[in-house]
Structure 1
Amino acid sequence: MFVSALSFVLVLTGCAGGDEDTEPPSAPTGVTAQAGSATSVHVMWERATDDRSVAGYEVFQKGRKVRTVEGGRTMVDIEPLAPSTAYSFTVRARDAAGNLSAPSAAVPVTTPPATPDDDTPPTRPTALRGTVEGGRAVTLTWRRATDAVGVTAYDIYQADSRVHSVPGTATGARVTNLRPGTVYTFTVRARDAADNLSPDSPPVDLTTASDPGSGPSTAPTGLKATARKGSVVLAWTPPDTGAPVREHQLFLNGTLATTIVWGAQPPPGEVGYTFTVTDKPGTRYSVKLRARLPDGTWGDFSAQRTVVVV
């Protein structure tokens, strides 16, 4: 019995060894490096591929590893750096077995001069517009911001999280890796060499094209969020589901805050809800909603609104 059991263990071990992952991911492509200020650079890249999955990315500056990020991210800020200095960055993908891809093509970037006495932020970008490109990309355009010294970069935010950066000379950006049939809310901020950030541009809501056969969007529309003294007032239009929508979930800063329930027949058209806030003035809230559908499932998220406590 002892010999048979030992033989069985050895057979299992041999089978497991044959499943060892020795294939490295592909090298990341589309790497860009944009100076966000005199002391920071924003590095971005396209997703790498692997026969199993990409577990992370490693960013190198002239062969020295300076940052590591998880596999779901394709951007990172490198700081602190020196003003008026030339740098070169490469990116490598890593899988769960520790296999590293070949380095990406090296991208050069030079940080601008320091402006230590500049504490005035740029003006907000205006006239933000967007065009949907199928189910997975959008193109944004805006009017330039102004700054006492100069705008070094524009940062693009989706739902209050930065997803892209472009040079200060640009007035547009293309955002990829989106999901079909999804509502996205974008804003843009201008940045100067002293790392001062402008206020948000006005938001633009864009809905990517749905996959064939997926049906219409089930997201609430027309969400408005207005700050009052000690409260925030919301208004929106529930989705057309063919039946009354009696419940909505309210999310604050990405976390479920409450479920809004109408005990009787909900009002037709636009509906509203007011919630109390106790945080100090200047606190930012990101707000979004989704409705419970007639089949009991939760529908798509609405566009997101950012409101500042007064």
Structure 2
Amino acid sequence: MQRLLAASLLTALGLSLTLTLTACSAAAAPEPPDTRAPTTPLGVTATAGSASTVHVMWSAAADDRAVDGYAVYREGTKVKDVPATTLMTDVVGLAPGAPHTFTVRARDAAGNLSAPSSPVTATTPRTTAEDRTPPTAPGALRVTADGSRAATLRWTPGRDDTRITAYDVYQADTRIHTVPGTATTARLTGLRPGTAYAFTVRARDAAENSSPDSAPVDLTTASAPGAPPNTAPRDLTATAARGEITLTWTPPRTGAPVTHHELHLDGHFATTIVWGTTPPPGRATYTFPVPDAPGTRYTVTLRAQLPDGTWGDFSAPRTVVVR
């Protein structure tokens, strides 16, 4: 009787094991091949930035799995491959004083390509011999929020001895947008709610001479519904002197004295600024040494420690050049 029960038990276990393995095998079946192409990129624009460059931008495409990158074509010939996180690029080495036509295609990891975008054309200006004089900086930069994810910049034109061919918009010392030299506005999209930004604009001429930065303008986008208010330090300034940088700012209102701030340089933690006693009222000031060679550029941001011990939002960035 015991042998019969043991045999029955083994049989049952074997059956269970077979069913389990069968189920595992079914779950591990390979995915079907990816044969669906991404959608076609929309909103493609082309702006001549100089006599030999054109700035091409587009909106993100979609894919049933994921877009892996974009290919940019000039007159049907591929000239650039960029990753999926990049939605603009400069096409360089172009002939001056000529029209150039561009299209963009999205690509997924399986190599499927979207249909080409609608073609756009930009005409590069003619070169000016020995032009080494940069334009003057744009003036009176101002910003208007459009909801929590977009904004419009406006400025007064710079001046140039020949002609301004483009205006470049920078955020944290990184170019994020380009418009023609005849424009004095730029609309920015894809911003994050509840985030502090600082924007500057530079003018550029046909010989690739760029103006100094305009004065920065700050924008803190509205927080998402239900999200807490922004806790970034406000009105940050960064001033370079020989071998040192001085920061001044207004700490956020947190309901308690702010005794700790984190200083970040170029997006990386540098140090914690600590007041051992009650912090000063109103504006705070901190000076730190910099051993780098003159001309080195830094992007500076701050964030404050909140009463619950967590770190708040980052300030709008400031770019400073070592002297």
* TM over 0.5, shorter chain: yes
- State the distance in 2 between where 1:55 and 1:243 align: 47
How far apart are residue 208 of structure 1 and its match? Answer: 1.2
How far apart are residue 131 of structure 1 and its match? Answer: 0.2
How far apart are residue 14 of structure 1 and its match? Answer: 7.7
- State the distance in 2 between where 1:295 and 1:10 align: 47
Identity value in percent = 61
| Worse-superposed segment, 218-227 or 187-196 | 218-227
SS at match of 1:23: coil
| 1:58 partnered with 2:71 | yes
Cα deviation 1:229-275 (Å, max 9, x = unaligned): 21111111111112222221111122221111223332222211101
Cα deviation 1:107-156 (Å, max 9, x = unaligned): 01111111231000001100001100001100000001111110000000
- State the distance in 1 between where 2:190 and 2:283 align: 32
Partner of 2:159: 146
Mapping 1:237-256, distance limit 5 Å: 237-256=250-269
How far apart are residue 299 of structure 1 and its match? Answer: 1.2
Q: State the structure with more CA Rg.
A: 2
Partner of 1:15: 29
Cα deviation 1:152-182 (Å, max 9, x = unaligned): 0000001110000000000111010110111
Equivalent of residue 75 in structure 1, options 71, 88, 108: 88
TM, length-normalised to structure 2: 0.90
Partner of 1:156: 169
- State the distance in 1 between where 2:111 and 2:304 align: 43
Ranges in structure 1 where 5+ consecutive residues have no aligned partner: none
RMSD of aligned Cα (Å) = 2.0
How far apart are residue 36 of structure 1 and its match? Answer: 0.5
How far apart are residue 48 of structure 1 and its match? Answer: 1.1
Mapping 1:65-104, distance limit 5 Å: 65-104=78-117
Classify 1:17/1:309 alpha carbon distance in 2 versus 1 (closer, same or farther; 3 Å): closer
Equivalent of residue 229 in structure 1, options 221, 242, 246: 242
How far apart are residue 52 of structure 1 and its match? Answer: 2.5
Equivalent of residue 304 in structure 2, options 288, 291, 295: 291
Amino acid at match of 1:49: A
SS at match of 2:153: strand
- State the distance in 1 between where 2:36 and 2:274 align: 52
Ranges in structure 2 where 5+ consecutive residues have no aligned partner: 1-13
Cα deviation 1:47-87 (Å, max 9, x = unaligned): 11222322211111122111111111110001111111221
How far apart are residue 26 of structure 1 and its match? Answer: 1.1
Question: How many aligned positions are there?
Answer: 306
Amino acid at match of 1:36: G
SS at match of 2:29: helix
Partner of 1:29: 42
Classify 1:17/1:121 alpha carbon distance in 2 versus 1 (closer, same or farther; 3 Å): same
| 1:200 partnered with 2:217 | no
- State the distance in 2 between where 1:36 and 1:234 align: 34
SS at match of 1:81: coil
Amino acid at match of 1:15: A
Partner of 1:272: 285
Partner of 2:273: 260
Partner of 1:49: 62
Amino acid at match of 1:185: A
| 1:119 partnered with 2:132 | yes
TM, length-normalised to structure 1: 0.93
| 1:165 partnered with 2:181 | no
